[in-house]
Amino acid sequence: MADELLSPKQVQADYGFSAQTLANWRWTGIGPAYIKTSPGKGGRIRYKRSAIEKWLDERTVSGGRAA
């Protein structure tokens, strides 16, 4: 089964991160991995659902651990 590709608006609907927050994270290099379909401003951005889930898992803090 192919990994689902999500637009920034779909990420916002499913995970609550605004499209602007995702753009800021892309700019600073701290957000989840993404796909850009073509170079320049006109390139559409897509996120693999698995990349978002992996990114979230890496940032999950268990109780009792320092953040």
Please report, for the chain, how many H helices and E strands are present, in that order. Answer: 3, 3
- What is the pLDDT, as a whole number, of residue 42? 79
Instruction: Kindly state the tokens that stand for 33.
Output: 């991995």
Q: What is the pLDDT of residue 39?
A: 84
Q: What is the pLDDT along the chain (67 residues), one digit of tens a residue?
A: 578 999 999 999 999 999 999 999 999 999 999 999 888 887 899 999 999 999 999 999 988 756 5
- CA-wise closest residue to 12 among 20, 1, 4: 20
How many residues appear in the chain? Answer: 67
Distance of CA 40 to the CA centre of its chain: 19
Strand partners, 36: 45
Q: What is the C-alpha to C-alpha distance for residues 10 and 59, in angstroms, rounded to an integer?
A: 21
The verdict on pTM exceeding 0.85 is no
> What is the model's pLDDT at position 53?
96
> Which pLDDT belongs to residue 67?
54
